[in-house]
């Protein structure tokens, strides 16, 4: 998945949802995480600690409309949304 020039790979998945992590996780210890359930995308720790990673051509990609929910990891209610 690519969002705003940053690439994500599936970390875990099951039949109802998938957990994604930034490809900069190992190299830069980037903490940005995504959780997808159907067409709902939840974002956690949205500040990357490195530059954009995607250098390809967006015209070769397939787009998809999703609802985006940004979670504040310091908020107890948002933590429950992400888990």
Tell which CATH classification among 3.30.410, 2.40.128, 2.60.120, 2.20.25 matches the domain 2-82: 2.20.25
Please give the full DSSP string across 3-32, using - where no structure is assigned.
Answer: ETTEEEEEEEE-SS-EEEEETTHHHH----
Burial pattern 31-48, b for ≥16 Cβ within 10 A else e, equals bbbbbbeeeebbbbbbeb
What confidence tens digit (pLDDT) does each residue in 3-55 have?
889 999 999 998 889 999 999 999 999 999 998 888 888 887 788 999 999 98
Please, which residues bridge with residue 44 across strands?
33, 71
Q: What is the pTM of this model?
A: 0.75
List the chain domain ranges.
2-82
Alpha-carbon gap, residue 31 to 66, rounded angstroms: 22
Q: Which helix (H) or strand (E) holds 78?
A: helix 76-82
């Amino acid at each position: 998945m690519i969002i705003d020039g940053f690439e994500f790979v599936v970390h875990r998945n099951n039949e109802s949802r998938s957990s994604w992590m930034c490809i900069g996780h190992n190299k830069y210890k980037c903490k940005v995480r995504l959780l997808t359930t159907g067409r709902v995308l939840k974002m956690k720790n949205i500040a990357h600690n490195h530059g954009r990673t995607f250098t390809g051509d967006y015209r070769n990609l397939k787009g998809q409309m999703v609802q985006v929910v940004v979670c504040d990891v310091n908020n107890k209610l948002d933590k429950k949304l992400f888990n």
